[in-house]
């Protein structure tokens, strides 16, 4: 089972642009279960766990979800993964239909959330692009004035 490079808290924290405390806190909140440990108790993060944390940070920063909401989203996704594995093992899970439907509902909610946010952002983008264009035009006029009013002054230290 190959690529099990282990990362320390500080390494992961620096890589993801957060502090160790944040990683501890997420674990404490139940967002990242089953973090590996050294015999002495130091945390070790594998690539899969780091990707999970990156997912958490995207849900938080880009979508603005609270950690509680993220936990519920992740737990549903975890349930789904568990379900997949049970299927692969040939076991017959109960309540699979219900669970699948719930997953669909959750994913649709998240997608709608994403779409709404993208729409808002697109509108704001247009608005700000417009403003920027106007100011740039004015800046050009300003520069023109100066070049006419004052003597030529290229490369003034």
Partner DNA sequence: ACCCAATCTTACGTTGACGTGAGTTTCAGA
Partner DNA sequence: TCTGAAACTCACGTCAACGTAAGATTGGGT
Q: Which of 5, 38, 126, 137 binds DNA (CB under 7 A)?
A: 38
Q: Which residues bind a second copy (CB under 8 A)?
A: 58-59, 61-64, 80, 96-97, 100-101, 103-104, 107-108, 110-111, 114-115, 117-118, 120-122, 124-125, 128-129, 131-132, 135-136, 138-139, 142-143, 146
Strand partners, 134: none
| Closest separation in Å from C-beta 77 to DNA | 18
Nearer CB in complex with DNA: 10/126? 10
C-alpha 22/C-alpha 19 separation (Å) is 5
Strand partners, 7: 45
- 């590996």: which residue's tokens? 36
- 């642009």: which residue's tokens? 17
Q: Is 21 in the site for DNA (CB under 7 A)?
A: yes
- Give ∠ CA 85-35-7 in degrees, rounded to 5: 115
Say how many C-beta atoms besides its own lie within 10 A of residue 43's C-beta: 19
Nearer CB in complex with DNA: 37/91? 37
């Amino acid at each position: 089972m190959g690529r099990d490079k282990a990362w320390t808290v500080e390494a992961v924290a620096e890589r993801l642009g957060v502090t160790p405390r944040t990683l501890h806190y997420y674990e404490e909140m139940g967002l990242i279960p089953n973090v590996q440990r050294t015999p002495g108790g130091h945390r070790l993060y594998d690539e899969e766990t780091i990707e999970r944390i990156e997912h958490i940070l995207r849900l938080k920063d880009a979508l603005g979800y609270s950690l509680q909401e993220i936990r519920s989203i992740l737990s549903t996704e975890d349930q789904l993964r568990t379900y997949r594995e049970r299927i692969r093992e040939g076991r017959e899970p109960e309540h699979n239909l219900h669970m699948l439907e719930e997953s669909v509902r959750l994913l649709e909610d998240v997608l709608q959330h994403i779409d709404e946010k993208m729409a808002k952002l697109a509108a704001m983008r247009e608005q700000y692009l417009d403003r920027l264009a106007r100011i740039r035009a004015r800046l050009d006029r300003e520069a023109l004035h100066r070049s006419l009013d004052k003597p030529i002054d290229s490369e003034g230290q």
